[in-house]
Amino acid sequence: MTTVLVFLDHAGASLAKSERELLSLGASLGEVTVALAGDADQAYLDGVGSYGVQQVYRPDSAAVSEVLVAGKAAFLAEAVRTTGAGIVLLGNSYEAKEIAARLGVRLGAGVITDVVALAADLTATKSDFAGSYTVDCRVTTDVAILTVKPNSFDAIEAGGPSSPHEVRLPVDLPAAVARVTGRVDKPVSGRPELAEARVIVAGGRGVNGDFTPLEALADALGGAVGASRAATDAGWIEHSAQIGQTGKTVSPQLYISVGISGAIQQKAGMQTSKVIVAINKDADSPVFEIADFGIVGDLFTVLPQATEEIRKRGL
C-alpha cells in the first residue's frame, strides 16, 4: 500500500477544516502518516489519530519553527526518506507551496500546486496561467508532491480519539536561513479563515471604502470577507483579505463578488469556486462572464435586502 505523508503546519488547538480534508484525501490514497512541524497538545494529536494515523513525525529541534520555509522543507524531506512515502500532501498557502517547491528540489520529485481534483491514477486538475486554463497533469517521478486547495475535497467523519505514536527526526538546518524575529497575533474577527471558508463575500473598488454591508451579509451566511487588490491597496481592508493572482486563491462553495470588475488577476484567485454570484452596476463587467448568477444593481441596495431575507429565513 502506498504511504501518504500529510504535512501539517500546526497553528491551532484543534484540527482545522483544511487539515481534516487533507487527512481524508490521504486516507483515500493509501496509508496516512503525518509530518507535524510544530508542537501540539494532546487533544490535537488525538484528533490526528482519529483519522487512522498511527505515526506522527516531528522535528527533534524547536529551531525548525523559528526559521522560515527552509527548515520545514528540510524536516519534510527527512520525513519522506524515513517513511518511504510515495505521495506528499500539503495545504495551498504561499508558504506551503514554497515548502513543496524546496522539497521537490531536495528529492528530485515532481510538484503540482493548486490541486482541486485528483483521479485514482494521481492525475490532478488545477487552474493555470492566471486561471485562463483548467489543466490535467500528473507527476511521473517516484514521489508526487501535491498542494491542495481547501474546500476541494470532503472531510470524512473522524473516528474516536486515538493517540498516534510520535517519532522525532533529526533535522540538518541550512547554515543560511531566514529566521522569525517576532510574531503579532491577528485580531480575532469571529469569521472563518478566508482560505477555508465555505462562503466568501468579496468587495472591490465599487464598495467605495464601505465594507459594512458585505460584513453583514457574510455574518448572516457564516462566511468570510475578502477583497480585490484595488480595495486593499486603497486601505479599505487589510491586505490579508486580498484574493487574486497576487493574493490568496480560494475555492469556496459560494463566492459573492460585490463591486469587482472581474479582471483576469481577480479571476485567478476565485474561479474554482463552486457557485459564483456577481453584483455590479455595470452590466458589461467581465465578472458576469464567469458568474453562475448575476445581479445588475447598486450593492448598497441589493446587499441589505439579501441580508434581511437570509436572516428572516434563518438560513
Q: Are residues 40 and 103 in the same domain?
A: yes
Q: Does some domain include residue 187?
A: no
What single-letter DSSP state applies at residue 288? Answer: G
What is residue 131's predicted lDDT score, i.e. its pLDDT?
66
- Which one of 119, 147, 169 terminates a domain? 169
What percent of the chain stands above pLDDT 90? 60
Q: Are residues 152 and 224 in the same domain?
A: no
What is residue 189's predicted lDDT score, i.e. its pLDDT?
72
Q: Are residues 112 and 158 in the same domain?
A: yes
Tens of pLDDT, residue by residue over 39-54, are: 788 888 999 999 989 9
Collapsed DSSP state (helix, strand, coil) of residue 44: helix
Tens of pLDDT, residue by residue over 134-164, are: 899 999 999 999 999 888 898 887 788 888 9
87-90 and 293-296 strand pairing: unpaired
Q: Are residues 106 and 24 in the same domain?
A: yes
Q: Are residues 270 and 137 in the same domain?
A: no
Q: Are residues 161 and 225 in the same domain?
A: no
Q: Which three three-digit cell numbers place residue 312?
A: 428572516
Domain region containing 293: 199-313
* pLDDT confidence tier of residue 249, bands split at 50, 70 and 90: confident
* pLDDT above 80 (res 169): yes
Q: Are residues 62 and 18 in the same domain?
A: yes
Supply the mean pLDDT for the chain.
89
Q: Are residues 146 and 208 in the same domain?
A: no
Q: Are 77 and 100 in contact (CB under 8 A)?
A: no
Domains of the chain: total: 2
Q: Could you tell me which of 255, 242, 290, 228 has the C-alpha nearest to residue 94?
A: 242
- Which one of 169, 185, 217 terminates a domain? 169
- Which one of 153, 169, 185 terminates a domain? 169
Q: Which three three-digit cell numbers place residue 79?
A: 520525513
Q: Which three three-digit cell numbers place residue 225?
A: 470577507
Q: Does some domain include residue 176?
A: no
Q: Are residues 127 and 224 in the same domain?
A: no
Collapsed DSSP state (helix, strand, coil) of residue 80: helix
What is residue 315's predicted lDDT score, i.e. its pLDDT?
61
Q: Does some domain include residue 275?
A: yes
Q: Could you tell me which of 32, 68, 74, 37 has the C-alpha nearest to residue 53?
A: 32
Q: Are 256 and 274 in contact (CB under 8 A)?
A: no
Question: Which region among 39-43, 74-78, 141-145, 238-242 has the lowest average model confidence (pLDDT)?
Answer: 39-43
What percent of the chain stands above pLDDT 70? 97
pTM, to two decimals: 0.81
Supply the CATH number for residue 29's domain: 3.40.50.620
Provide the strand spans (E) within 104-161: 110-118, 124-128, 133-137, 144-148
Q: Does some domain include residue 249?
A: yes
Q: Which three three-digit cell numbers place residue 29?
A: 490514497
Tens of pLDDT, residue by residue over 173-187, are: 777 777 777 777 766
* pLDDT confidence tier of residue 130, bands split at 50, 70 and 90: low
Q: Are residues 42 and 152 in the same domain?
A: yes
Q: Are 227 and 236 in contact (CB under 8 A)?
A: yes
What single-letter DSSP state applies at residue 289? Answer: G
What is residue 228's predicted lDDT score, i.e. its pLDDT?
93
Q: Are residues 11 and 130 in the same domain?
A: yes
Q: Does some domain include residue 256?
A: yes
Q: Are residues 129 and 212 in the same domain?
A: no
Q: Does some domain include residue 186?
A: no
Q: Does some domain include residue 227?
A: yes
Residue with cell 475578502: 226
* pLDDT above 90 (res 267): no
Q: Are 232 and 242 in contact (CB under 8 A)?
A: yes
Q: Following CA atoms 312, 215, 248, 16 in sequence, which dihedral angle do they give, to the nearest 10 degrees?
A: -60
Supply the CATH number for residue 238's domain: 3.40.50.1220
Rounded (to 5) percent helix, strand, coil in the chain: 30, 25, 45
Q: Does some domain include residue 191?
A: no
